[in-house]
Structure 1
Amino acid sequence: MRWGSQGFHNGYRASLGDVVSPEREIMSVSRRQVLLFGGLSALGVGALTVPTGSVQAKSASALPDEQMPLPYRTGFTQAPVLKPYAVSRNPDDYEKKINYYSVTQVAATASILPNKNLLTQILGYNGIFPGPTIRVERGTKAYLRVRNQMPATDPRAGHLLYSSTHLHGSASLPQFDGYASDIVHTRFAKDYEYPNDQPARTLWYHDHAVHNTAPNVYSGLVGQYHMHDDLERGLLPQGRFDVAVTISDAMFAENGELGYDDNDQSGVYGDVILVNGRPWPVMQVQRRIYRFRLLNGCVSRSFRLRLDTGDPVLMVATDGGLMPRSQEVSQWRHASGERYEILIDFRNYQPGQRIQLMNLSNDNNVDYNHTDKIMAFDVVDSPVDTSDPTWNTLPIELDPGNEVMALKSSDALIRRHFRLKRDDRTNMWTIDGQTWADVVASNYQRIVANPELNSTEIWEFENSSGGWFHPMHVHLVDFKIIGGENRANYAYEQGPKDVVYVGEGETAHLLMKFGPHRGRYMIHCHNLPHEDHDMMVQFRVGTAALEPSENDPMKAGPSRLDDGTALPPFPDAYDSVGTP
């Protein structure tokens, strides 16, 4: 079977017989250690377990040298913005709107490599990588229909192509949070509801399917989602000077297909850095201030980013939105799933000058010839757009009243400690000795914490795994990093976060208030092979054990057979209606 550019191949039909339970998936998929896409048997990496310190190597791809992409040979581009196909008034607040969106997960091909005859098969929202960017105003509710029109099974690796879409950074109800075992099979669709009540921020939507998150995200199921509000609009560049940058890495088989090797479940490290799906692109910039929304969309790789000029950037926002005050930083650690918004001031550079965004890397990565480079900026000699007041403004005070950053340790009623390690007997990644298999075996009831609604707690994540770092993601909430052991107090982390970089031997202390919803939510490592094998557990907010819930993450918002439409759940009171 071969994927076609328009989705699955002609004549393919999925049937209800393709549907299997998540419990069956645990037996059939979760112990997979290495996937080799596109006949990628000649990779030099093999089953490399990452040791302490970063590994240096020439290449991971099986492409001939003349077919390998090189830095700064392609132009920078961004994903298109997804327009709502319908808009209505919110019946609960007629002054506010509801936007209706639809995306379709399909198999497609992308032209990534210099040889345009070597096309790369991807999975993509609407068939592109990264998927379309969604932009909403704070307070505008969004309904997103996600249609799974992928093949029933991956023709290269053999695993089932079910999905579960997580809007990372959203305080969603449990049934719309992308719960890993709430899977959507081929020819099924699910409607997600997003309240968008949080402060402006950079979110991203990505696949979260149990045991297949890493290969699905690696294949392209990612997209940015931007929430705006008046405070952010008045402080930071907008429009074409508000730039989405999704960084990922990849390796390639000799035929141009994606290669995937999770190095004995320790991590996937490609030798080609992609920015918005293009290898090491060059962006032309005016002599003014730009805002960049940097998302590390890698499956495993972390970065330590800096400008090659040595000049600092101005950090203005973290995962959860604006920092209280901006911070000048010359370099920063940036793990999978983290978002940092920076301002780069190009006013003092000369026309024709090239500035590079570089990667110093971190311990426990696997680095290759050109993974020290991300992208370049070429300053152009053209009139500067000064139509917006932010073109020459470097703000200092941003959101001093941020609710998360105003939390105090004295507010915490409970302190919890979680130990991150690899089980020496099973080779599974664990959180306090527990895995997602334990959650499934408990009929999805087993939890590691049960905070009360609106309570404040301190959570400590201790990395005792040795030889790995763990970017830990807590669903539902933003948190404040308040220190820890063997880790610095980083200026760039002085904003609301939902992923914390826990380096080897480090312990991170997080202060968080639990809400606004009750129910079960996940905690996991965002090194996605770790999540898939099986470094994910759950906590419960404000509900008792075995208490029936109208917001059950697997029952309250079920998927349905995809009838080919994208009609919203409440198709009345439209302001406008378009074609999805």
Structure 2
Amino acid sequence: MGTSTPSGVFVAVAWAKGRTEMQAGRRRFTRREVLGLGLLGAAAFALPLERSARTKFGDQLEKLPPPFGAELPIPKPLPPTRASATTDFYNITMKKGTASIIPGLPTPIWGYNGQFPGPMISARKGRRVSMTVTNDLPENTALHMHGAYVDGDSDGYPEDKMPPGGAKTYVFPNRQNARTQWFHDHVAHHTATNVYKGLAGLYLIGDEFEDNLPLPKGQFDVPLVVQDRLFHADGRFLYPFEADDHSTNGVEGDVILVNGKPWPKMTVANRSYRLRILNGSNARVYGLALSNGQPLTVIGSEGGLLERPVRVRSLPISPGERYEVVVNFAGVPVGTGPESRVTLENLRADEETTREIMRFDVARRASDDSTVPAVLRPAKDQIDDTHQPCVEADAVRTRTWVFKRTGGFWTVNGKIWDARRVDARPREGDVEVWEFVNNGGGWIHPIHPHLVNFKILTRNGRPPHPWESGYKETVFLDGNDRVRVLIKFPKVPIEGTPGPYARKFPIHCHHIEHEDHDMMAQFEVSGAA
């Protein structure tokens, strides 16, 4: 985000908390002290929090690149290292690299294979992926495949740390329907900084059912990874907080990146495109809309295709969420002038530099044999290992999860992350209603339970938004939202000999600074009764 100075130069700002813990005469408590002394919730430990304190940084990049000067890079699938009859094998190294983001200024990054954004893996339903990941970075890491149906040993459990020089093999059975996933770092208390430095990549699952639909394909099926960053004057990413600073409400940058480029443009034809949109930002929520007022046709969310398409004028997307939309440029004049340009806008922008995300330039004609069917994936074809039919009457219990600021930390049910504590113990095959509550006023919390997909039952006592009708694994809680979801716990797909985390899975806020400090709990799924 940014504010305009009289000279027209944008000065970046970040949302931060007034660091009262660091004021003279007051000591900041560590997580270990809070857990050991039971300080959470104590009146003496309660700390004031400023909702929107703004911080400027002395060596911050002031002359931002002009919007729409860079071409949108289109990710290409990473070829497997080798393949067998059942499995694709990948060797990936987390290492330092350099990205070209701000013209003329190199940006040091941490990336999978040294790339920013990371590589894209294209998988198929029913075909396993074995990913051996080596950590060539100076910090602990843990890879989480966001949305994967895996056992806890391959889930990127926050305490399953890969030390510098270490390696780990993750196995993904890919028994889900076609969908858009992503992978990113998930190590306890350092996820925000590691993801901000670049540790994130795309993972697409395809299947025969989706192949046979007349949706846009090939070059007309485009992933869009939307992120935001602050920059130092020399081009480095600017992360304004210490990794263990639990006073922060997160970082929102003044530069919007799509596929690693600032406010890019994409040259398109006057036909339909499928856009797979990931909000890969640490903290920013976007309100997506097109500048010419035409609708977005929502066809999918985290759990894959919806049963039926939904047309919307705007679409909120919080960190970790994915939505797939079809945009038809057939009604836009082909040319090079302003009338041929359509901007993807952010209706939730707080400053001028965050109001635009990217631009589509309709510059050529093309035939279009694609359509969006009235029925995309009917209920009987939605069924997979994580999409098992159930109704609310099948629920054996209801659990409530309250996400709020408590005692200077971000908490779940008044507690901070503690790997020794299990907060819920559902069984395989159980149906449960989980109620997610955000009573924190203006705070936002995108909630992500690992392993499961769910259906939203109600949002604030009413039906969910139409675009939320499909299977989800991340749900946006805006200020004072209360969302009830229905979960049928799948069989945990244990690979080989179970390790210490095989049946343990986190549930956390995907506002990543909240997750790190310490809005995360865990559940352990036992075998069926």
Q: Provide TM-score, normalisation by structure 1.
A: 0.76
How far is 1:467 from its partner?
Answer: 2.4
Match of 1:422 among 372, 383, 405: 405
Q: What is the aligned partner in structure 1 of residue 316 from structure 2?
A: 333
Contact 1:166 1:206 (C-alpha < 8 Å) held by counterparts: yes
Q: Are 1:478 and 2:453 an aligned pair?
A: yes
Contact 2:60 2:238 (C-alpha < 8 Å) held by counterparts: no
Q: Are 1:265 and 2:248 an aligned pair?
A: yes
Contact 1:519 1:543 (C-alpha < 8 Å) held by counterparts: no
How far is 1:275 from its partner?
Answer: 0.3
Contact 1:49 1:266 (C-alpha < 8 Å) held by counterparts: no
Q: Are 1:181 and 2:164 an aligned pair?
A: no
Separation in structure 2 between the aligned mates of residue 487 and residue 375 of structure 1, nearest angstrom: 34
1:111-190 superposed matches below 5 A: 111-114=100-103, 116=104, 118-150=105-137, 152=138, 161-190=139-168
How far is 1:487 from its partner?
Answer: 6.8
Contact 1:315 1:328 (C-alpha < 8 Å) held by counterparts: yes
Match of 2:416 among 432, 435, 458: 435
* Equivalent residue letter for 2:521: V
How far is 1:242 from its partner?
Answer: 1.1
Percent of aligned pairs with the same amino acid: 38
Separation in structure 2 between the aligned mates of residue 292 and residue 60 of structure 1, nearest angstrom: 35
Spell out, residue by residue over 1:496-532, the C-alpha distance to the aligned partner (whole angstroms, 9 max, x if none): 1000001111101111110120711110000001010
Contact 2:61 2:232 (C-alpha < 8 Å) held by counterparts: no
1:45-444 superposed matches below 5 A: 49-51=50-52, 62-63=59-60, 65=62, 67-89=63-85, 97-114=86-103, 116=104, 118-150=105-137, 152=138, 161-235=139-213, 236-261=215-240, 264-352=247-335, 353-361=340-348, 367-382=350-365, 384=366, 386=368, 389-390=369-370, 393-401=371-379, 402-403=382-383, 404=387, 406-423=389-406, 425=407, 427-436=408-417, 439-440=418-419, 442=420
How far is 1:539 from its partner?
Answer: 0.4
How far is 1:186 from its partner?
Answer: 1.2
Contact 1:61 1:251 (C-alpha < 8 Å) held by counterparts: no
- Structure-2 change in CA distance of 1:257 and 1:64 (3 Å): closer
* SS of 1:380 mapped into structure 2: strand
Q: What is the aligned partner in structure 1 of residue 40 from structure 2?
A: none
Spell out, residue by residue over 1:289-334, the C-alpha distance to the aligned partner (whole angstroms, 9 max, x if none): 1101100000010111111111111100000101111111111110
* SS of 2:361 mapped into structure 1: strand
- Structure-2 change in CA distance of 1:134 and 1:61 (3 Å): farther
- Structure-2 change in CA distance of 1:433 and 1:223 (3 Å): same
Separation in structure 1 between the aligned mates of residue 354 and residue 56 of structure 2, nearest angstrom: 10
Is 402-411 or 245-254 further displaced after alignment? 402-411
* Equivalent residue letter for 1:133: M
Separation in structure 2 between the aligned mates of residue 217 and residue 484 of structure 1, nearest angstrom: 30
Q: Provide TM-score, normalisation by structure 2.
A: 0.84
Contact 1:133 1:224 (C-alpha < 8 Å) held by counterparts: yes
Separation in structure 2 between the aligned mates of residue 369 and residue 166 of structure 1, nearest angstrom: 34
Q: What is the aligned partner in structure 1 of residue 437 from structure 2?
A: 462
CA RMSD of aligned residues (A): 2.3
Q: What is the aligned partner in structure 2 of residue 573 from structure 1?
A: none
* SS of 1:322 mapped into structure 2: strand
Contact 1:81 1:135 (C-alpha < 8 Å) held by counterparts: yes
Separation in structure 1 between the aligned mates of residue 479 and residue 320 of structure 2, nearest angstrom: 18
How far is 1:79 from its partner?
Answer: 2.8
Is 517-526 or 210-219 further displaced after alignment? 517-526
How far is 1:246 from its partner?
Answer: 0.3
Q: What is the aligned partner in structure 1 of residue 10 from structure 2?
A: none
Spell out, residue by residue over 1:343-366, the C-alpha distance to the aligned partner (whole angstroms, 9 max, x if none): 00111111120001000117xxxx
Q: Which runs of structure 1 show a deviation greater than 6 angstroms over 4 or more consecutive aligned residues?
A: 57-61
How far is 1:265 from its partner?
Answer: 1.8
Separation in structure 2 between the aligned mates of residue 378 and residue 58 of structure 1, nearest angstrom: 36
* SS of 1:452 mapped into structure 2: coil
How far is 1:407 from its partner?
Answer: 3.1
Separation in structure 2 between the aligned mates of residue 481 and residue 130 of structure 1, nearest angstrom: 31
- Structure-2 change in CA distance of 1:523 and 1:504 (3 Å): same
Contact 1:63 1:256 (C-alpha < 8 Å) held by counterparts: no
Contact 1:61 1:259 (C-alpha < 8 Å) held by counterparts: no
- Structure-2 change in CA distance of 1:479 and 1:319 (3 Å): same
Q: Are 1:542 and 2:526 an aligned pair?
A: yes
Separation in structure 2 between the aligned mates of residue 246 and residue 75 of structure 1, nearest angstrom: 14
Spell out, residue by residue over 1:453-506, the C-alpha distance to the aligned partner (whole angstroms, 9 max, x if none): 011111001102232110000100110011132776311111110000011111
Separation in structure 1 between the aligned mates of residue 456 and residue 467 of structure 2, nearest angstrom: 11
* Equivalent residue letter for 2:311: E
Separation in structure 1 between the aligned mates of residue 439 and residue 107 of structure 2, nearest angstrom: 38
Separation in structure 2 between the aligned mates of residue 495 and residue 524 of structure 1, nearest angstrom: 21
How far is 1:59 from its partner?
Answer: 8.0
* Equivalent residue letter for 2:429: N
* SS of 2:183 mapped into structure 1: strand
Separation in structure 2 between the aligned mates of residue 258 and residue 49 of structure 1, nearest angstrom: 25
For structure 2, the 5+ residue unaligned runs are 1-29, 36-47, 493-501
1:560-575 superposed matches below 5 A: none
* SS of 2:426 mapped into structure 1: coil
Spell out, residue by residue over 1:96-138, the C-alpha distance to the aligned partner (whole angstroms, 9 max, x if none): x210011111111111112x1x211111111111111000111
Separation in structure 1 between the aligned mates of residue 433 and residue 334 of structure 2, nearest angstrom: 50
- Structure-2 change in CA distance of 1:49 and 1:276 (3 Å): farther
Separation in structure 2 between the aligned mates of residue 330 and residue 60 of structure 1, nearest angstrom: 36
Q: What is the aligned partner in structure 1 of residue 6 from structure 2?
A: none
Separation in structure 1 between the aligned mates of residue 226 and residue 266 of structure 2, nearest angstrom: 14
Q: What is the aligned partner in structure 2 of residue 559 from structure 1?
A: none
* SS of 2:119 mapped into structure 1: strand
- Structure-2 change in CA distance of 1:493 and 1:502 (3 Å): same
For structure 1, the 5+ residue unaligned runs are 1-24, 31-46, 90-96, 153-160, 545-580
Q: Are 1:504 and 2:479 an aligned pair?
A: yes
Contact 2:192 2:512 (C-alpha < 8 Å) held by counterparts: yes
Contact 2:435 2:485 (C-alpha < 8 Å) held by counterparts: yes
- Structure-2 change in CA distance of 1:196 and 1:173 (3 Å): same
Q: Are 1:530 and 2:514 an aligned pair?
A: yes
Separation in structure 1 between the aligned mates of residue 357 and residue 480 of structure 2, nearest angstrom: 28
Q: What is the aligned partner in structure 2 of residue 9 from structure 1?
A: none
* SS of 2:97 mapped into structure 1: strand
Contact 1:487 1:506 (C-alpha < 8 Å) held by counterparts: no
* SS of 1:328 mapped into structure 2: strand
- Structure-2 change in CA distance of 1:167 and 1:145 (3 Å): same
- Structure-2 change in CA distance of 1:488 and 1:502 (3 Å): farther
| Number of corresponding residues | 463
Contact 2:388 2:488 (C-alpha < 8 Å) held by counterparts: no
Contact 2:227 2:280 (C-alpha < 8 Å) held by counterparts: yes
* Equivalent residue letter for 2:327: I
Contact 1:478 1:497 (C-alpha < 8 Å) held by counterparts: yes
How far is 1:58 from its partner?
Answer: 12
Contact 1:450 1:541 (C-alpha < 8 Å) held by counterparts: yes
